[in-house]
Copies of this chain bind each other. A is one copy, B any other.
Amino acid sequence: MSVVLSSIRWYLDVIREAQLADYGPVRGTMVIRPYGYALWERLQSWLDAALKEHGVQNAYFPQLIPMSFFEREAEHVEGFAPELAIVTRGGGKELEEPLALRPTSETIINSMFAKWVQSHRDLPMRLNQWANVHRWEMRTRPFVRTLEFMWQEGHTAHATPEEARAEAMAMLEVYREFAVTQAAMPVIAGRKSRIEQFAGANATFTIEAMMRDGRALQAGTTHDLGDNFSRAFGTQFSDAGGRLRHAHQASFGMSTRMVGGVVMSHGDDTGLRLPPRMAPLQADVGTEKSPGWKFSHWEMKGVPLRIEIGPRDVASGTCAIARRDRPGKEGKEFGVPLAPELLVQEVLKRLDEVQAELLERATRFRDEHILDVSSHSQFLEVIEQGKWARGWWAGSDEQEVALKEESGATLRCFPLEQPGGGGTCFLTGKPADQVALFAKAY
């Protein structure tokens, strides 16, 4: 791993030079510039279609949430209260009740579900919104963690606990598919520990991505909320027998953080490397005699292919195609026919190759940087190297917290893909029935 890549400086340079984002005037806020927003639009259009395919409908809920709503669910208020931005004045007057800018919308959506969900025939109810949210974070970084960010948040209501759980799992698979097939990010899907799960959820599921500096990025989460919010807000339906029951719910979100994930998954010393399916611009045609500046500009912006047409090429009816993901001679092919239909074919073929190879490389990188550990000292060593530690785990919540304080690494997830059988907890030596992944994270 290059020193350049592992530095914050590299990331901030790329964000600035590729014009992905700029800093807003308020500390911790960012402006998403057109090139960065185009990446977000790629995510939006794929994910919006996938959610609709799954039966999720778009809606929009107010951003202003009465503070009292948060207080109805004990864990939720505890989790979010320190991060809230609060409106206390409106129309020139002090408000009677302060209003929070949504950090997430479980509470306000349940205040509406409580009206809309009356009968089992109203279920399942699957809604989604594309919206901005605010969390008053202290340490911020463009895309990765900002006071305000854009996301989609899905919220569903079901008749049974099993359906709510299945929804959370199905949405996790949608996120995994997006990350792998579009963003070329070989994420690991798993369940969060109790310590790390969403405030108010019964279980949280995650896709965890490995950045080129070895850190983990939580790239999307889904939650089995059980009936925690429906009890807090009185969301009840009459079942087929006429009995009143609480709805069981799921929620799920993916955000502009994913744009930062793409940057840090694929970038190199020259700048961005974009997977063709995410790239705002997929190929760059250069015809100048001295194309140095232009080429390096588009290389830095991560455009997957460069088509070079020189005067001699025109005479011979050919051009050269250079791949951004393979710098130098290795990635350059001469003598590609210039005839439009043939050229398009060649370009499409190479875009597929680039897409596949970025995923392959990231997968290889990931697998090389996950090490199995069977003792506390091995664990510390692996984390110290900036890698991920995988080991059998049967520690308590307190031991998990202590390990985090000692090493700086958090329990990223219990991967859904488990080795099977059982083993011995690397920390406590107790019998364990699943392995966990630990890493330092963004």
Are B25 and A37 within 8 A (Cβ)? no
- Give the docked Cα–Cα distance between A115 and B89 (Å): 31
Q: What is the chain B residue whose CB lies nearest that of A58?
A: B37
Given known contacts A25-B69, A108-B25, A131-B132, is B60 in contact with A150 (CB within 8 Å)? yes
The A20-48 residues at the B interface (CB cut-off 8 A) are 22, 24-26, 29-34, 37-38, 40-41
Number of copies: 2
State whether A29 touches B91 (Cβ < 8 A).
Answer: no
- Tell me the nearest residue of chain B to A40, going by C-beta: B60
A144-162 CB contact bits vs B (8 Å, 1 = yes)? 0001101000000000000
Q: Which one of A29, A81, A90 has the greatest number of beta carbons of chain B within 10 Å?
A: A90
Do B58 and A112 touch (CB < 8 A)? Answer: no
- When the two chains form their complex, are residues A37 and B60 in contact, meaning their CB atoms are under 8 A apart? yes
- Shortest C-beta distance, A298 to chain B (Å), equals 17
Contacts of A29 in B (CB 8 A): 62, 64
Q: A111 touches which one: B25, B62, B81, B99 (CB < 8 A)?
A: B25
**A101 is an interface residue with CB less than 8 A from chain B:** yes
Does A286 make an interface contact (CB < 8 A)? no
Q: Is the CB of B89 within 8 A of A98?
A: yes
Cα(A62)–Cα(B21), bound, Å: 11
- Inside 8 A of A101's CB, which chain B residues have their CB? 87, 101
A108 pairs with B24, CB closer than 8 A: yes
Are B34 and A64 touching (Cβ within 8 A)?
A: no
Instruction: Say how far A423's CB is from chain B's closest CB, in angstroms.
Output: 42
- The answer to whether A85 touches B83 (Cβ under 8 A) is no
A138 interface residue (CB < 8 Å to B): yes
Question: Contacting A86 at CB < 8 Å: which of B25, B90, B134?
Answer: B90
| Binary CB contact string for chain A from 383 to 418 against chain B (1 if under 8 A, 0 otherwise) | 000000000000000000000000000000000000
CA distance A111 to B41 in the complex (A): 24
Nearest 10 pairs of A and B residues by beta carbon: A91-B136, A34-B57, A29-B62, A24-B62, A32-B60, A86-B89, A90-B136, A85-B90, A88-B88, A26-B64
